[in-house]
Amino acid sequence: MFVLPVHSTRHQSPRARPSWTRTAGLVGAAMLLAAMGSAQEKAGAPASPPPENKPAEFVGSTTCQMCHEDIFNAFQKSPHQLVETDKKRGWDTKACESCHGPGSKHAESASAADIKQPAKLQPGEADRTCLTCHRNQSTHSGRINSSHARNQVSCTACHSIHKNGPHGLVARKPAEINALCAACHTDVWASFQKPYKHRLPEGAMSCVDCHNPHGSALPRQIQTTRSNEPSCAKCHGDKMGPFPFEHAPVRLEGCAACHQPHGSANPRMLTRHEVRFVCMECHSNLPVPNPAANSTLGTVGPAIHDLRSPRFQNCTLCHQKVHGSYANRAFTK
């Protein structure tokens, strides 16, 4: 594949020349950039390429406008127009090339082979372009990190720079976000059609209430709130404590030890259809071959727990504070 040389964004760009006319501008830019090009060669490139194979140079957005009028005009209303107008990023008057790379060769040849098209790059490579400006930026759903790139999904799979118009760069409404994610995660979306679920199909919540599509310190891209707590805390703080008497799995395994967060056939989105079966997965007095191994699970209820008696089958009738208690270690209140 044709790979354009990487230009560091800020420091090597020519100064702004707002009064360019098109032709004079091109000549001027060519001269200026020829000088810059040689400076760059001295700084970085291992050997100077033969003249006909010279690296492409920056020509400015008005050059692109000549042949891509529609995109150029629509771009005036894009949030990225700030790149074109604001001097401090070093891309003023040549925003197009901040993502597409230097365009002189392409402007001459009009060949697709001579210009960088992020949508055709490997995800990691495409993301590098975006991350030159967006790395570590904080958003509603958390900081922007490498994101889905580990899974070969690039920024442009979720953010279309030109296609959806100036207001289509970011999906904002819960229903839009869900549709975006559901397009790839069909199995997850199916879970939200189960009887007990968070209200995503109704558009009351979205995937990014719980996940940061841009990466996370927690597994499964779980969004964090407060100090690295999983996102559930944002809405169910009362279940997270901190409690003087913690129920170990709430903290250690997390909510998904007992709940199916996307949706479930069981009331309370539990992993089992009856509460006691959830409990007995860890608290059962089934004989085990190696009692020592069982000690890593929960303890067994004392002898009063006659599990044949219906009275003892509804564990949370007595162990009401199953997420943790302020009162006692049996979680009865």
Which CB atom, from 40 or from 284, has the smaller least distance to ligand HEC? 284
Binding-site member from 38, 85, 151, 285 for ligand HEC (CB under 6 A)? 151
- Rounded to whole angstroms, the Cα distance separating 167 from 152 reads 25
Among the listed residues 13, 92, 174, 275, the single contact to ligand HEC using CB under 6 A: 275
Residues 7-66 that bind ligand HEC (CB under 6 A): 59, 61, 63-64, 66
Q: Which two tokens stand for residue 2?
A: 């044709």
The alpha carbon of residue 175 and the mean position of all alpha carbons in its chain are separated, in whole angstroms, by 17
Long-range CB pairs of 23-32, under 8 A, 24+ apart, other chains included: 25/60, 25/62, 25/63, 26/59, 26/63, 29/57, 29/58, 29/59, 29/60, 30/57, 30/104
**Which residues, numbered 199-218, are part of the site for ligand HEC (CB under 6 A)?**
199-200, 205, 207-211, 213-214
In the bound complex, what is the minimum distance in angstroms from residue 42's beta carbon to ligand HEC? 25
321 binds ligand HEC (CB under 6 A): no
Report, in Å, the least distance between residue 32 CB and ligand HEC. Answer: 16
Q: Does 137 bind ligand HEC (CB under 6 A)?
A: yes
Is 328:316 a contact under the CB 8 Å cutoff? no
Query: Does 272 engage in binding with ligand HEC (CB under 6 A)?
Result: no
Applying CB under 6 A, which part among 21-29, 34-42, 44-52, 220-228 lies near ligand HEC?
220-228
Helices (H), the chain: 22-43, 61-67, 69-75, 81-85, 96-100, 104-109, 123-134, 155-158, 174-184, 186-191, 232-235, 248-252, 275-280, 291-294, 315-318
| Residue 255 binds ligand HEC, judged by CB under 6 A | yes
Which of 48, 139, 193, 228 binds ligand HEC (CB under 6 A)? It is 139
Nearest distance from C-beta of residue 50 to ligand HEC, angstroms: 23
Is 155 a residue that touches ligand HEC (CB under 6 A)? Answer: yes
Q: Pairing relation of β-strands 245-246 and 229-230?
A: unpaired
Contact flag: residue 92 with ligand HEC (CB under 6 A): no
